[in-house]
Amino acid sequence: MGPITELAERLVAADTGGWGTEGLRAMAASLGWTWTEDATGPVLGTGPATGEARPIRAGTYEERYTNGEEYVGLVIPVGRPEPDDAAQAAAFAAVREELTAALGKAPVMGSHGEMGPFFTSGPLWGNPFLRWRGEPNTLELRAGKNGPELVLQPTDPAENWFWRQGIGEEHSISGYFGHRRDPANAGLNFPGGWSARSWATVTSSLADFLGPLPAETAALGVSIGMPVYGRTENGAPLLFDIACGERLSIACFADDDAAAAALGWGTVADHPATAERWDDDDPVRRVDAGGPGEPKGRALAEMLVATAKAVGVREPAGLIVGGEGTYVGDYRVTYYGLGLATG
């Protein structure tokens, strides 16, 4: 058993005795950890293999969701890879494989997008997470600013925060959230989403989604296939197919009237890697956006929006994520950050 697996199993079994200083001190003592304090607060020494754990104190924003808890989580770094996107994704994937072998497949997975729990920001390369949901505590593997982190947190405050973001305002929730049919997910509640009200919002939400997508799918070990339909005077035909596993590829099914080449679309000759996803001539127009760290999210988003407008999609509500795109392996995924209808 590796040190990360041992740490995760001990965290899952640990009794925090609530999330106050006294309870965390007792938990640390039961695990044989040291407790010291520096200028930023408590520091828990977990051992040389996994380093230090730091409790996250409930601050001004957190208090409204915590029902009086003093802390909202305990963060333990479990890797410090090179800063490039591919290395960060690979480090996350390595921990994911180890934890899955020990704890089973995570009941919940997804990306926090630009807005993590309690309004924290994630790393630029992506913000993926895996969650082993429990009661009263939940263990999460999360992308930290410097590498993967294990986060033990009280379940109710984190879920209460997420649920209460469903207020319908643009960008009130970011990222995407996937859950499996698993007994651990009993009683799991889902917030409402929001709808993009302008093409500028669609462009920004697509850019935020597409840029880190291959790094996140590589980290999570999933492949996303997302058809996007465009409602025009002629119905709502298939317009795009967004496919992302090790690389991000996007196909365009628009008519030639859309002047696809002028908008930036190529062919299989221009993007030979796309042949692994689609035949050479169906669809004709496509783009290979690359692997972790390579997609130019803003440019891709602008190309998709320009194409949608060119074929006659009049408003953001006319771009529709196909319902089949919400199934990612055995996870059912809601793409909260896109602000697009699903049908």
Tokens of 297: 């999210």
Q: Count of H helices and E strands in the chain?
A: 9, 17
Q: Report the chain's C-alpha Rg in angstroms.
A: 21
- CB < 8 Å & 24+ apart, contacts of 48-57: 49/3, 50/3, 50/4, 50/7, 50/76, 50/77, 50/78, 51/76, 51/77, 52/76, 52/77, 55/24, 56/153
Residue 254 Cα distances to 227, 229, 242, 281, angstroms:
13, 10, 14, 14
Mean per-residue pLDDT for 236-242? 96
What's the chain's average pLDDT? 94
Nearest to 14 by CA among 36, 38, 34, 31: 31
Phi-psi region for residue 168, left (φ > 0), alpha (ψ -120 to 50) or beta?
Answer: left
Query: Which pTM does this prediction carry?
Result: 0.96
Give the span between the Cα atoms of 27 and 17, in whole angstroms.
7
- Residues 142/148, Cβ–Cβ less than 8 Å: yes
Please report the pLDDT score of residue 328 as a whole number: 98
Mean per-residue pLDDT for 196-222? 98
| Residue 51: pLDDT over 80 | no
Please report the pLDDT score of residue 35 as a whole number: 94
Please report the pLDDT score of residue 257 as a whole number: 66
Q: Which of 42-51, 72-81, 120-129, 313-322 has the least mean pLDDT?
A: 42-51
